[in-house]
Amino acid sequence: MIDRGARELARLRRIGLDDDALSLFGFGLDSFVEVISGVGIWHMIRRIRRAPESDPDRFETTALRITGSAFYILSAGLVVTGLLNLYRGQRPETTFWGIVIALVSISAMWLLIHFKTKVGRKLRSEAILADANCSRVCLWLSWVLLIASAGYELTGFGGIDAVGAIVIAILSFHEGREAFEKASGESCPCGTCGAD
C-alpha cells in the first residue's frame, strides 16, 4: 500500500513538474498526505487489535495528530509553490493530464469520503472521520485541478492554478487545526465535524 502510494506520488509529481502545472504538483503532494493519513489510521487499528485492553483514545489521539500534521505539510507545500509560481509568472505547458486526473479523482474521492464517513460514524472514530476529511480536501483539490486546468485552456491565464492551490492550502490548514483540536479534546468550533 505504501509503496504503491509512493510510486503514484512520484509519477504525479513528475507529470506536474515536467508540465510546470502547480495544480498537478499539488495533487501529487495531496496524494502523499493521503498516504500519511492512511498509515496513521492503519497503525491505530493494528495497535488496537494487538492490545484490545489498551486505551484506544491514546491511539486515536496519535492518529489525529498524524492527520493534522499531514494537512499542515500540504498547506505549506501548496503556499510556497503557489507563491513561487505567481512570482515567476509560470504557465503550464499542458493541462490535458490535469483534466483527466481530476475527473477520475473526483469520482474516486467522493466514494472514499462516503464510505470512510460511514465507517467512522459506525465505529465512533474521530480519527477515521478526520481521515475522511483528508479525502475531502483531496476532492476539493481535484475540483481546483479541474477548474484550473479548464480555466487555463479557456483563458490562457497561468496564475489560475497557483491561486487555486493557495485556496486549497487555506482549507487544508483549517482541517489540520481541526484534527489537532480533536486530538486535544476540544470540540469542533463549526459543529460540522464529520459531516457529509
Q: Exposed/middle/buried for 121, CB within 10 Å: 0-12, 13-18, 19+?
A: middle
Q: Is residue 195 part of a domain?
A: no
Q: Model confidence at 20, in pLDDT bands (50, 70, 90)?
A: low
Q: Is residue 7 part of a domain?
A: yes
Reply yes or no on whether the pLDDT at 68 is more than 80. Answer: yes
- Range from 73-87, 92-106, 125-139 that averages highest in pLDDT: 73-87
- The grid cell for 44 is 491505530
Q: Note whether 16 and 25 are within 8 A (CB).
A: yes
Domains contained in the chain, number: 1
- The grid cell for 193 is 465535524
Full domain range(s) for residue 173:
2-183
Q: How far apart are the first and last CA of the chain?
A: 26
Q: Note whether 63 and 40 are within 8 A (CB).
A: yes
**What count of other Cβ atoms lies within 10 Å of the Cβ of residue 170?**
11
Q: Is residue 192 part of a domain?
A: no
Angle, helices 160-183 vs 22-50, to 10°: value is: 20
Q: What is the pTM of this model?
A: 0.61
Q: Is residue 116 part of a domain?
A: yes
Specify the 3-state DSSP secondary structure of 51: coil
Q: Is residue 131 part of a domain?
A: yes
